[in-house]
Amino acid sequence: MSVNKRNRNSFGNKRPSKAETAARKKPSILEGLNPPNAAGVQQLVALMRRDRNRPFSVRPELRTLLKKVQAEVKWVREQQQQQQRRKGQEKCLRERLQEATAEERYCSRLAAEAEAANKAFDERTKAPVAETATEKEALIATARRAIEEERLNRARDRATDAATVKNHPRRPWTPF
C-alpha cells in the first residue's frame, strides 16, 4: 500500500490542492481600499486575477502598476495618520491652555485675597502715634486684642480644616 507522499505535508496530512489554496486566499488589501486612483486599483485587480494561475508570468505593466498603487495607498495612509496626529495635538494644546488659564485665575484670586487680608491685618495692628502714656497703653491694648483675635481666627480656621479632613469620606474617622 503505497501512499503518495508528494501530496502530504511533514505530518502526513493531505495537502490542499492549488485550487483550494487559491480559493482560501484572502482578498487583496488593495481591493478594499478606495484611494483617489480607484480605476487603477480595479485594473490591477483584474490583471492579478488573470495572472493568478500563472504565478511566474507576471507582466512588467502589472509590476509598475502595483508599485504605483502601493505608493499611492501608502501616501494616503500617511496623510490620514498625520491628520489624526494634528487633531490630537490641537486637542491636547486646547486642554492645556484651558487648565493654565483656570489655574492663573485661581492664583490671581488667591493673591488678591491674601493681599486684602494682609492690608486688613495691617490696618488693625497699625499703631498710630500716641501722645500720652494712657493713649500708649490703650493702643498697646487694642494691638494685643487685634493680635489675639487674629490668633483665635487662625486657630478656628485650623480646627475647621482639621474637621473637614477628619470627616472626609475617603479617610476613616479617628478620634485623635
Residue range(s) defining the domain that contains residue 150: 127-167
User: Does 57 score more than 80 pLDDT?
Assistant: no
Q: What is the pTM of this model?
A: 0.30
Dihedral over alpha carbons 103, 108, 113, 114 (to 10 degrees)? 100
- The total number of structural domains in the chain stands at 1
User: Please, which residues have CB within 8 angstroms of residue 127's CB and are 6 or more apart in sequence?
Assistant: 139, 140, 143
Query: Is residue 141, in this structure, part of any structural domain at all?
Result: yes
Query: Is residue 113, in this structure, part of any structural domain at all?
Result: no
Query: Is residue 44, in this structure, part of any structural domain at all?
Result: no
Query: Is residue 29, in this structure, part of any structural domain at all?
Result: no
Indicate the range of 73-77, 145-149, 165-169 predicted with least confidence.
165-169
Query: Is residue 38, in this structure, part of any structural domain at all?
Result: no
Higher pLDDT, 126 or 158: 158
Reduce the DSSP state of residue 158 to 3 states and report it: helix
pLDDT at position 154 is 86
Query: Is residue 15, in this structure, part of any structural domain at all?
Result: no
How does DSSP classify residue 52?
T
| Cα 172 versus chain centre, distance | 33
How many alpha carbons lie under 13 Å from residue 118 in its C-beta half-sphere?
6
Phi, psi of 28 (to 5 degrees): -65, 150
Query: Is residue 93, in this structure, part of any structural domain at all?
Result: no
**Average confidence (pLDDT) over 62-78:** 80
Query: Is residue 41, in this structure, part of any structural domain at all?
Result: no
pLDDT tier for residue 43 given thresholds of 50, 70 and 90: low
